[in-house]
Amino acid sequence: MNFPIRINKYLSQVGFCSRREADRLLEANRIQINGKIPELGTKVEEGDEVKVDGKIVGAQRDEKVYMIFNKPKGIVCTTDSGVEKDNIVDFINYPTRIYPIGRLDKMSEGLIFLTNDGEIVNKILRARHFHEKEYVVKVNKPITNIFLKAMRNGVEILDTTTRPCEVEKINQNTFKIILTQGLNRQIRRMCEALDYRVIALKRIRIMHIRLDLPVGKYRLFSDQELKELYRKI
């Protein structure tokens, strides 16, 4: 979101209401910016507190944001828009600066968390916690029992052997895998080491959070989900 921004556009971009509805709210004096009722055409600056009917809209600078996002294929998990135009932060366009927890490579899709809470990022990313991440993977040729056994027992990639993991065949070319580590492009490299090529890769679960959103959509953690997340870390 580019600041300053007109109040009606701001309310539209944070998903509160349409611009037309925002104009009606403005005319009814139901909007406040930093405690004051704005005039038509008033612009919101970064860090401003916006309220509708006395309730804060969007996330303000000092609020903690915990987001669940269904990343589309082709979006890059970086916050640097100068390096990559198809980056995750610009795609979501959230009013507060947030950043992804971990990564999904550009050609993968599915569940990823975003936040502005650096402390929780560090806790989640610590490999010693062995947090589960579940994926559905489609490969370029029929899956054999030899392939499944090798994937489960560990594959040599990046000068190490991957941790033993759960792998279940779904159909001829598709399997489900649950990892407890996050090596760079781990699943793709594991498959390549066994002479398979990944056609599609989707993350459907991180710890207790299962993907429940359409592609390209996001939502905030529920209170119960956040409470369970803190319990697990």
Q: Enumerate the domain spans of the chain.
A: 5-56, 66-127+212-232, 132-206
Higher pLDDT, 84 or 43: 43
- Determine whether 1 is exposed, middle or buried from the number of CB atoms within 10 Å of its CB (0-12, 13-18, 19+): middle
Residue with the two structure tokens 């649950």: 178
Architecture of domain 132-206: 2-Layer Sandwich (3.30)
pLDDT in tens, 151-168: 999 999 999 999 999 999
Question: What is the predicted pLDDT for the residue at 130?
Answer: 84
Q: Which of 15-19, 74-78, 168-172 shows the lowest mean pLDDT across its residues? A: 15-19
Over 70: is that where the pLDDT of 179 sits? yes
Model confidence at 120, pLDDT cuts 50, 70, 90, reads: confident
Average pLDDT rounded to a whole number, residues 20-45 = 89
Q: What is the pLDDT of residue 22?
A: 85
The answer on pLDDT for 12 being more than 90 is no
Q: Would you state the structure tokens that stand for residue 197, as one six-digit string? A: 């090529």
pLDDT of 61 higher than 60:
no
- List active site positions: 105
Q: Where are the beta strands (DSSP E) in the chain?
A: 5-6, 31-33, 43-44, 50-52, 55-56, 66-71, 99-101, 109-115, 133-139, 156-157, 160-161, 166-171, 174-179, 198-206, 209-210, 218-220
Which CATH number among 3.30.450.20, 3.10.290.10, 3.90.1280.10, 3.30.590.10 corresponds to the domain 5-56?
A: 3.10.290.10
Tokens of 126: 């610590």
Identify the pLDDT of residue 104: 93
pLDDT digits 0-9 by tens, 64-119:
889 999 999 999 987 766 556 788 988 998 887 788 888 899 999 999 999 887 77
Average pLDDT over residues 188-202: 98
Q: Is the pLDDT of residue 15 over 80?
A: no
CATH of domain 66-127+212-232: 3.30.70.580
Q: Which of 134-138, 213-217, 229-233 has the lowest mean pLDDT?
A: 229-233
Fold agreement (5-56, 66-127+212-232): no
- Tell me, what's the pLDDT at 213? 95
Q: What is the pLDDT of residue 121?
A: 75
pLDDT above 60: residue 60: no
